Amino acid sequence: MSTIRQFDMAEVIRTYSKPVFGFALNRVKGRVEAEDLAQEILLRLITSVSSGANVQNLEAYVWTIARYTWANWLKKRAHAPMTIEVNGMSELLSGHERTPLEQLLETEAYRTLRHEISFLSNIHRRIVVMHYYDELKHSDIAKILGIPVNTVKWHLHNAKKELKKGMERKMQEAGTLSVNPIRLTGTGHSGTPGQLGETHDFLGRALAQNIVFAAYHKPMTIHEIARKLDIPPALLEDEVMYLADYAFLTEVSSGKYQSNTIIWDITVEQWEAQHQLYKECAAKVADVHFEALMDIRQQVQETGVYYPDDDYNFLLWTLLPKNIEEQAWRCCPEGGSYDPTVAPVRKDGGHYIAYATLERSNKPKLSFDPRHYSFCGTMNRACEGSPLYLWQLDTYWSDRPGWRHLNFKDVGVCYSFWKGKLPDDELHREQYAFLLEKEYIRKTEEGFRFNAVWIDSPEMLHRLNAVMPDLSNIYKPAIANLYEKTLAITMQNQPKHLAPQIAHMVRGNTGGGRLITYILKHLVDQGKLREPLPHQKKTITTWMGPVK
């Protein structure tokens, strides 16, 4: 490390006076002001060196002092109008004519230019920074990078073209995701979640949501997604790779990614049209189905199926949804495959279709309350090596917090209670607290009683299934019409590459799913199906037992 001694200062001043003046003249509007700036730069240089500063590279040291002084100069004069130019960088913003940039550091154009530089390839970015910011000559850049001078010039020429295109595009864009990011709500899945969870666990972050939205209608490179989000590609790459690893994005060709997540953006017209179709379908089948189950009440009781308090209305809250699902699914048109191309087998073991809803600032004003038709499920819980099985559907009328609330543990603890293997003692306090909290059991004057539908053997389930009515004659035409028309409505404005996933989702909703809620609502409105009592809301639309 060398030190510039005091007796060397005269030579330093003689050597750099003219270059420093040129530096100043290229940055301020008049000769007098340039002389003032040059004098201040030289004064700071003398002061710094006189204080005993150690200098490794005199050339770099001088221009570091110059740029630092110039930056402070601009800050002091920020309130005054000023015309400045940065060593040729104005050509990146202009056409063939070089024009001064007004208050360069304060203008949106300069901020945009700096932002655009971050989008250049690595080699272009390095050469632009070295040439325009570090003020290195082409030959110096060539030595540093170990490439020919002409190659440096070629890269610089291409970089300037890219910057100009980016600036023009940036000035034309309005309402981009950078200033108007979307938000996804209602994230969900159709299938089995993995060890890391499901859609919400991966798309809970705003960045992830905007990435899958940006690449929704057409494949995009990371660079193109970055443009949409106005984020440097380097900061985006890991997130894109993560979403692709877990199949929320698909790499459809080398370096191009497309969303593999359904994003529902349903208009009021679509909502209303679908609502009308589901209502009409429910009206065709609901009353017939209800009466058919009422007609077999005696046979159902004779199967031995348990339902609390001999309340057949409570049992209907399970029999109806379960049998609607079976009848409607059998009558659904073929299609809606569930192979891995439709429902990806994900890296964490999940196997599901991912979906979410695009949140709009203006909530749609509908002629109906959509909460009555919300649902989660149907959900199944089983375990390899165990005969136990649990089925559940959450609806508007049930009082449960969602699919994460339901575990195989539920049926395991219930089975122990049912078989009398759970004595009411201090040792089993925790299990009883669990059963009471979920209301699988109730405390009565006679003691604890089971509070859900229980089917105690495969033979009992077989007897129950044998007495269920076959309603295919009314379901088949109704479901075919509902599926065909609902699918046509749902596919409006949706990308073709997600058609198989959307078809599966529509098949699930028309072959059970949402249709169940419309049938239940129809029967409640008709006064045929009574709403569940408060102590029944946590265990309706649930059945379990050793019937896997």
pLDDT tens-place string over residues 266-288: 888 999 999 999 999 999 999 99
d(CA 231, CA 222): 10
Half-sphere exposure of residue 461: CA atoms within 13 angstroms, side-chain side: 18
- Among 6-20, 103-117, 182-196, 433-447, the range scoring the smallest mean pLDDT is 103-117
178 band by pLDDT with thresholds 50, 70 and 90: low
Average pLDDT of the residues in 490-516? 89
Average pLDDT of the residues in 355-360? 89
321 band by pLDDT with thresholds 50, 70 and 90: very high
- Residue 291, classified by CB atoms within 10 Å of its CB into exposed (0-12), middle (13-18) or buried (19+), is exposed
- Among 55-59, 107-111, 223-227, 361-365, the range scoring the smallest mean pLDDT is 107-111
**Residue 433 in 3-state DSSP?**
helix
Give CB contacts under 8 A, 24+ apart, made by 439-448.
439/535, 439/538, 439/539, 440/410, 440/413, 440/414, 440/539, 441/417, 442/308, 442/535, 448/417, 448/424
Predicted confidence (pLDDT) at residue 361 exceeds the cutoff of 80 = no
Q: What is the CATH number of domain 2-172?
A: 1.10.10.10
Which pLDDT value is given to residue 76? 67
Which part of the chain has CATH 1.10.10.10?
A: 2-172, 184-263
Which pLDDT value is given to residue 441? 87
Which pLDDT value is given to residue 375? 85
- Within 8 A by CB and 6+ apart from 269, the residues are none
Average pLDDT of the residues in 340-344? 82
Q: If you count them, how many residues does the chain have? A: 548
Predicted confidence (pLDDT) at residue 373 exceeds the cutoff of 50 = yes
- Within 8 A by CB and 6+ apart from 189, the residues are 198, 199, 350, 352, 353, 354, 355
Which pLDDT value is given to residue 142? 86
Q: What's the token pair of residue 166? A: 């980016």
Which pLDDT value is given to residue 288? 94
Q: Which of 447, 429, 436, 399 is nearest to 414 (CA)?
A: 436
Average pLDDT of the residues in 304-331? 91
Average pLDDT, the chain: 82
Predicted confidence (pLDDT) at residue 89 exceeds the cutoff of 80 = no
Which pLDDT value is given to residue 133? 67
Average pLDDT of the residues in 304-309? 93
d(CA 167, CA 473): 64
40-79 pLDDT, tens digit each: 888 887 777 666 666 667 777 788 888 778 777 776 665 4
- Among 5-14, 124-133, 235-244, the range scoring the smallest mean pLDDT is 5-14
Predicted confidence (pLDDT) at residue 521 exceeds the cutoff of 90 = yes
Q: In percent, how much of the chain has pLDDT > 90?
A: 36
Assign domain 184-263 one CATH number from 3.40.50.10490, 3.40.50.300, 3.30.70.260, 1.10.10.10.
Answer: 1.10.10.10
Predicted confidence (pLDDT) at residue 1 exceeds the cutoff of 70 = no
Which pLDDT value is given to residue 98? 38
212-265 pLDDT, tens digit each: 999 999 999 988 888 888 777 877 888 999 999 999 999 988 889 999 999 998
Which pLDDT value is given to residue 340? 73
Average pLDDT of the residues in 520-525? 95
Contact 504, 334 (CB under 8 A): no
Instruction: Looking at mean pLDDT, say which of 25-34, 134-143, 332-341 comes out highest.
Output: 134-143
- Among 88-102, 110-124, 155-169, 437-451, the range scoring the smallest mean pLDDT is 88-102
Taking 3-state DSSP, the helix, strand and coil percentages for the chain, each rounded to the nearest 5, stand at: 55, 15, 30
305 band by pLDDT with thresholds 50, 70 and 90: very high
Which pLDDT value is given to residue 87? 35
Which pLDDT value is given to residue 236? 84
Contact 382, 390 (CB under 8 A): yes
395-449 pLDDT, tens digit each: 999 988 877 788 888 889 899 999 989 888 888 888 889 888 999 989 888 889 9
